[in-house]
Amino acid sequence: MSYLKSWVDSANSASTDFPLNNLPYGVFSIGDEAPRCGVAIGEHVLDLAAVESQGLLSIGDSPLCQDACWNPLMALGKDSWALFRERLIALLSEGSAEQARLQEYLYPLADAQMHMPFTVTEFTDFYAGRHHATNVGTMFRGAENALPPNWLHIPIGYNGRASSVVVSGTDVRRPWGQLKGPDQELPAFLPSRRFDLELEMGAIVGSASNGPVSVDEADAMIFGYVLLNDWSARDIQAWEYQPLGPFQAKATATTISPWIVTSAALEAFRVSTPEREFELLPHLKDTGPMLYDIDLTVTLAPQDKPATTIASTNYREMYYSAAQQLAHHSTSGCPMRTGDLLGSGTISGPERSMRGSLLELSWGGKEPLTLDSGETRSFLEDGDTLTLHGHAQGDGFRIGFGDCAGTLVPALDDPYAR
Ligand code: CA
């Protein structure tokens, strides 16, 4: 995709997350006004509910931008997504005849409060990064049993909770749970002491399916992507996870970035999945470059202290693509619905500095991390703010995701002591 120039000046900066090539979809509000659909362009957001009401954006009979969520457009499928995007590009391109009319619907992003961009129908979390799975498996089960026997054949995952997915900027409260250390005979109910982040990408299902879909069909069903921090209580997880996998350890919160970066905007950044150790069965085989070259970083800022970059990695480090995860998800006949969110699994790379969780960065607490402030961290402390950043680098522009941030606030008093 070559670089597109907009009449919105700030969109033409090489460092903006939101050039005309991006056009990510979000839901925003200004002051006390109601939340509404918008698209980010440079340092502004264009109010698409208003633009649609003016008759400048319709691609069919039904309104698509009046529900303060993007599910209505998501449900229409790939051809409609392309038409809608084409229309937006025309409206915001340099020389657009509508510039004067649109100007009054532009708001500074700095004034915008962001909301959940879509209604999450269901949330599934995968475990599809090989470096992460190897690191965690080594810590939990030893190096010889690090990867479970199924791992190189299917993208393994579990059904999470849609109800606890929150938008960037939402505080996350340290949870209580049942903990049992290896040296303790019996478990105790306590606030988690090993609360962690997971650096992931979230893939958002647009068109629904009813029955098994191929990898190519799955790829075409994905509307777009967000950054995703899958907060994890490692001590709750270690006690509860066998044999059915994580449950309460992953149910406190999952934070997503507020802008849906569309598959169309990322198309030019496709890269191949890594070499396969075992050939995948035909229904999961790669059909072309299925991952994206997206640089990812995580910063940690203790309360009232500057942020330290604690990890830098890339989405291309994944073993399975979102399309393969979605295809696998459907093999049993499981219907997939508009608004289903698929977490990639933690994205770690081969180097220590590329590990996408504190569990890995501090190697289970054995090698605490030193922050720029001089403090150390094995796991998160109350008041820590975690921010995920991500962008695909084009020639003179970049496709960015905006921040995915959350602050850990202290546990409440024992919720059952009343
Ligand atoms: Ca996860």
pTM comes to 0.97
Sign of the C-alpha dihedral computed for residues 64, 65, 69 and 70 taken in this order? positive
- Rounded Cα distance between 333 and 244, Å, is 21
For residue 374, the CA-to-ligand 1 centroid distance in Å is: 29
For residue 415, the CA-to-ligand 1 centroid distance in Å is: 26
- Rounded Cα distance between 214 and 255, Å, is 29
For residue 65, the CA-to-ligand 1 centroid distance in Å is: 31
Catalytic residue among 131, 132, 389, 391: 132
Per-residue pLDDT of 175-204, as tens digits, reads: 999 999 889 999 999 999 999 999 999 999
- Rounded Cα distance between 357 and 368, Å, is 12
68: left (phi over 0), alpha (psi -120 to 50) or beta: left
For residue 214, the CA-to-ligand 1 centroid distance in Å is: 24
Residue 149 is predicted with a pLDDT of 93
SS3 28: strand
Residues 6+ apart with CB under 8 A from 168: 114, 255, 256, 257, 258, 402, 403, 404, 405, 406
Residue 417 is predicted with a pLDDT of 86
Per-residue pLDDT of 100-155, as tens digits, reads: 999 999 999 999 999 999 999 999 999 989 999 999 999 988 999 999 999 999 99
Residue 128 is predicted with a pLDDT of 87
For residue 121, the CA-to-ligand 1 centroid distance in Å is: 17
Per-residue pLDDT of 276-323, as tens digits, reads: 999 999 999 999 999 999 999 999 999 999 999 999 999 999 999 999
Structure letter (DSSP) for residue 376: E
- Rounded Cα distance between 275 and 105, Å, is 48
Residue 61 is predicted with a pLDDT of 86
Tokens standing for residue 387: 């921010």
Tokens standing for residue 286: 């790669």
- Rounded Cα distance between 232 and 219, Å, is 28
Residue 242 pLDDT grade (very low, low, confident, very high; cuts 50, 70, 90): confident
Rounding to the nearest 10 degrees, give the CA dihedral for residues 52, 9, 403, 169: -60
Residues 6+ apart with CB under 8 A from 270: 288, 289, 290, 291, 292, 293
Average pLDDT over residues 24-38: 98
Annotated active-site residue 115? The verdict is no
Residue 406 pLDDT grade (very low, low, confident, very high; cuts 50, 70, 90): very high
Contact 153, 281 (CB under 8 A): yes
- Rounded Cα distance between 73 and 57, Å, is 12
Instruction: Report the 10 Å Cβ neighbour count for 362.
Output: 20
For residue 158, the CA-to-ligand 1 centroid distance in Å is: 9
Token pair 């999450």 is at which residue?
120
Specify burial of residue 10 (Cβ count, 10 A radius: 0-12, 13-18, 19+).
middle
Contact 80, 73 (CB under 8 A): yes
SS3 115: strand
For residue 162, the CA-to-ligand 1 centroid distance in Å is: 13
For residue 54, the CA-to-ligand 1 centroid distance in Å is: 42
- Rounded Cα distance between 158 and 341, Å, is 12
- Rounded Cα distance between 171 and 262, Å, is 26
Average pLDDT over residues 54-71: 94
Cα distances from 145 to residues 137, 139, 149, 275, 355, in angstroms, run 7, 10, 9, 21, 20
Residue 82 is predicted with a pLDDT of 98
For residue 97, the CA-to-ligand 1 centroid distance in Å is: 46
Tokens standing for residue 220: 């075409």
- Rounded Cα distance between 174 and 232, Å, is 10
